[in-house]
Amino acid sequence: MQSHALAKPISVTLLAVALATAVVWAVVRHSAESAPAGEADRTAAAKPALTVSLTTPQRADWPRTLAANGNIAAWQEAIIGAELSNYRLTEVNVNVGDTVSKGQLLARISSDTVAAELAQGKAALAETQATLAEAQANAERAHRLRSSGMISAQQVNQYLTAEQTAAARLNAARAKLQADEVRMAQTRVLAPDAGIISARNATVGSLTQVGQELFRLIRGGRLEWRAEVTEAELSRLKPGTTATLTTPNGTRVSGRLRTVGPTVDPQTRNGLVYVDLPTEATGRDVRAGMFARGEFELGRAPALTLPQSAVLLREGFAYVFRLDGDNRVAQTKVSVGRRSGDRIEITGGLEANAQVVVRGGGFLADGDVVRVAAQTDGG
């Protein structure tokens, strides 16, 4: 009985030792098996995310510009109307878009009635001239007879009065004839200046009215860009400043600032500046009524630049990926300014000697390891 009692504690002790040994072995085995996997994860984390090319910012002498928007309009638009009332249009010789010269016949108004009145005026003038000649002869004869006493003073005065009356009627007839000649000239609608017909309301067969608009003419074919500029920037612009417009179809047209408007809109706080555009561009690249964006060149200033492909826009901010130690990249927020071609100005947030990823930044994250393929000069 005593031997059996001693064997029982020994068996329990051996069982506990065996269990402890099994646990230790399992832990050691698990550690041995998990160690290669952890090492593999660390190796994978250190694997380069992308092969990239690097560049450094370049300094360049760039123009300083001021951007503006505005409409293109005629420099001056002449309204050509009828000067006769209730006469019928018999000819219309031009259409919208036609280039005309000064004095060119644009339309003709029926002149039959005016021609008849003109002929009547000429006849009346001839009649009054004959009457004046007779009155002058009578007055001269009266002067001679007065000295001889063969004619009374009253009769002499009558002859002199008749002469003066005939002279006055002659002047009236001449004025009437001149008016008829003016009306005859008004039956021919002429261009007051060289330019381009921008509108036409004249129709053959319609009756004219005084002041009725028949045509609109862009004088000299000249157009101007009326650009809106904020009140704070108006003082930066001077007559003669070069401006470059970009039309809706992408065409670039150069012009020259003619004048700065003297007033500012109290609602928008913007003022107008007027830019003369080349006449050769009228009708081909620019047209009255177009909206155009443009910029004024205000001089030149140095700029620190990068290729635009190196700058990413994320959440409304500009970023570049700068190379840090251990071939890791750091996402760096930068400030940008002017653009020229495929390059962009960096105004802050980056050192001049920084190494920046040229392209592919959209596939990178802050802290990624990269493989450097090449160093470029300026991208």
The CATH number given to whatever domain includes residue 234 is: 2.40.30.170
Structural domain ending residue among the three candidates 263, 279, 299 = 299
Shared domain check, 260 and 326: no
pTM for the full predicted model: 0.62
Is residue 213 situated within a structural domain?
Answer: no
Shared domain check, 307 and 283: no
Which pLDDT score, from 0 to 100, does residue 377 have? 60
Shared domain check, 258 and 334: no
Structural domain ending residue among the three candidates 249, 270, 299 = 299
Residue 34's domain spans which residues? 1-47
- Indicate which CATH number applies to the domain containing 323: 2.40.420.20
Is residue 216 situated within a structural domain?
Answer: no
Shared domain check, 259 and 351: no
Shared domain check, 165 and 101: yes
Are 359 and 310 within 8 A, CB to CB? yes
Structural domain ending residue among the three candidates 196, 212, 231 = 196
Is residue 215 situated within a structural domain?
Answer: no
Residue owning tokens 């826009």: 313
Q: Taken in order 76, 231, 64, 298, is the CA torsion positive or negative? A: positive
Is residue 137 situated within a structural domain?
Answer: yes
Is residue 117 situated within a structural domain?
Answer: yes
Shared domain check, 286 and 308: no
Which pLDDT score, from 0 to 100, does residue 1 have? 40
| Token pair belonging to 146 | 């007065």
Which pLDDT score, from 0 to 100, does residue 25 have? 46
Which pLDDT score, from 0 to 100, does residue 376 have? 65
| 112-148 vs 153-186: helix crossing angle, rounded to 10 | 160
Which pLDDT score, from 0 to 100, does residue 65 have? 84
Is residue 210 situated within a structural domain?
Answer: no
Q: What is the layout of strands, in order, in the sheet containing 213-219?
A: 77-81, 213-219, 195-200, 99-100
Shared domain check, 311 and 262: no
Shared domain check, 294 and 313: no
pLDDT per residue as tens, the chain (379 positions): 434 443 444 444 445 545 554 544 444 344 444 444 444 444 445 577 788 889 999 998 888 888 999 999 999 999 999 999 899 999 999 999 899 999 999 999 998 888 898 899 899 989 999 998 988 888 888 877 776 667 777 887 888 888 899 899 989 999 999 998 998 999 999 999 999 999 999 999 999 998 889 999 999 999 999 999 999 999 999 999 999 998 888 888 999 999 999 999 999 999 999 999 998 887 778 889 999 999 998 888 888 999 999 999 988 899 999 998 788 899 999 999 888 888 999 999 999 889 999 988 888 888 889 888 866 665 5
Shared domain check, 336 and 261: no
Are 378 and 55 within 8 A, CB to CB? yes
Which pLDDT score, from 0 to 100, does residue 321 have? 94
Is residue 125 situated within a structural domain?
Answer: yes
Is residue 211 situated within a structural domain?
Answer: no
pLDDT digits (tens, 9 = 90+) for 72-118: 999 999 999 999 989 999 999 999 989 999 999 999 999 888 889 88
Integer Cα distance of 320 and 348 in angstroms:
12
Integer Cα distance of 259 and 229 in angstroms:
13
Shared domain check, 189 and 134: yes
Integer Cα distance of 52 and 321 in angstroms:
11
Shared domain check, 320 and 285: no
Are 158 and 146 within 8 A, CB to CB? no
Are 217 and 96 within 8 A, CB to CB? no
Q: How many domains does the chain have?
A: 4
Shared domain check, 171 and 83: yes
